[in-house]
Amino acid sequence: MNKKELWTRVISGVIIGPIVVFSYLTYPTLLGLVTTIVMLASFELIELFTSDVKNSFIKLLLTFIVGTSSLIYGFSLEAEYRGILPFESEGIFFLAFVASVFSIMLLVKEITHTKRFIESSALSIIYVSFFLSNFYLIHLNYGPGMAILALTAVWAYDAGAYFFGLSFGKHKLSPHFSPKKSWEGLLGGIFFTFAYIFIFDSIGVFFGSIQKITLLQTLIFALMVGFFDTIGDLTESIIKRYYNVKDSGEILPGHGGMLDRIDGLLIVTPMWYFLLRILWI
């Protein structure tokens, strides 16, 4: 990455970052943000799978279904927590899959196209919509402070891994799927994440906006972020390499597509919630 690309990435991050963080402060704005991100990322994923198909209507329809599944799930969780929903909220994603397949059967006739639309929409519902919607569970159960920490800890890891890898990276982590990643970047990112979580939690506890996280729990979270963020990044790298593209899109200056920006977050978010439950925080 040259200096111009680096400065473009930094400037766009400085502009977009505070807007994203601010949206996490209230549940309604979080619903709107996550739904928007899900729609953008799922459209990119569907387009990757079906770039040679000229049926824009079905692509937009599937994107709408996937995005709506996240929005309805968010409202359903609130209703479930209030005891007025007669079923588990996760059933929304099953209904979204059925709606997607039914739409594809009606609007797509070519069997190879049908297969790829079903694959991409199903992957979008689970991998993008359901995984990212775990922020709702974090927000509802642990408050906006913990949701913001989950988000920004991934940013901290990405920044730490990038700069440590750039400065000290010699041993390739995954030469076949992501040649630029190094073990030095992974370890540096984990160290940076540990320090960030410790500082964020100390300030959050002081202001009473977040639950106390012990040093051992901080280490566990930092290790988890490093491992699962890397898995998320490599997952998207494999998909992009298969389709021979550099970025999933061009919506974010300096960052590529939305899917490029959230690939690690998609895998870290569910695991962050699992850890909160497992560690009884």
Q: How many domains does the chain divide into?
A: 2
- Report, as an integer, the average pLDDT of 46-55: 95
Domain's final residue, options 97, 115, 141: 141
Judgement on whether residues 21 and 134 belong to the same structural domain of the protein: yes
Judgement on whether residues 137 and 152 belong to the same structural domain of the protein: no
- Pairing, β 172-174 against β 178-182: antiparallel
Q: Give residue 140's pLDDT.
A: 97
- Report, as an integer, the average pLDDT of 200-211: 89
SS3 content of the chain, % helix, strand, coil (to 5): 75, 5, 20
As given in the structure block, the two tokens for residue 100 are 């997607």
Q: How many CB atoms lie within 10 A of CB 118?
A: 18
Q: What's the chain's Rg over C-alpha atoms?
A: 19
Question: What is the domain range of residue 119?
Answer: 11-141
Q: Give residue 214's pLDDT.
A: 96
Per-residue model confidence as pLDDT tens digits over 133-145: 999 999 999 999 9
Judgement on whether residues 85 and 149 belong to the same structural domain of the protein: no
Q: What percent of the chain has pLDDT over 70?
A: 95
Query: Does residue 13 register a pLDDT over 80?
Result: no
Per-residue model confidence as pLDDT tens digits over 224-256: 999 999 999 999 999 999 999 988 887 766 668
Query: Does residue 2 register a pLDDT over 60?
Result: no
pLDDT band at residue 11 using 50, 70 and 90 as cut-offs: confident
Judgement on whether residues 75 and 20 belong to the same structural domain of the protein: yes
Burial 158-172 (b: 16+ CB within 10 A, else e): bbbbbebbeeebeee
- Report, as an integer, the average pLDDT of 177-192: 94
Closest CA to 229 of 196, 272, 277, 281: 272
Judgement on whether residues 148 and 273 belong to the same structural domain of the protein: yes
Q: Give residue 254's pLDDT.
A: 61
Q: φ, ψ for residue 180 (rounded to 5)?
A: -80, -15
Residue 15 in domain: yes
Q: Give residue 251's pLDDT.
A: 79
Query: Does residue 209 register a pLDDT over 90?
Result: no
Contact 258/251 with Cβ under 8 angstroms?
yes
Judgement on whether residues 46 and 118 belong to the same structural domain of the protein: yes
pLDDT band at residue 223 using 50, 70 and 90 as cut-offs: very high
Judgement on whether residues 96 and 205 belong to the same structural domain of the protein: no
Q: How many CB atoms lie within 10 A of CB 150?
A: 26
Residue 4 in domain: no
Judgement on whether residues 87 and 127 belong to the same structural domain of the protein: yes
Q: How far apart are CA 61 and CA 51, in angstroms?
A: 16
Q: Give residue 194's pLDDT.
A: 98
Domain's final residue, options 141, 170, 193: 141
Residue 2 in domain: no
Query: Does residue 122 register a pLDDT over 90?
Result: yes
Q: Is the dihedral of CA 52, 58, 63, 69 positive or negative?
A: negative
Q: For the chain, where are the E strands, in sequence order?
A: 172-174, 178-182
Residue 5 in domain: no
Q: For 140-218, where are the E strands, in sequence order?
A: 172-174, 178-182
Q: Give residue 150's pLDDT.
A: 98
Higher pLDDT, 31 or 178: 31
Q: Give residue 249's pLDDT.
A: 85
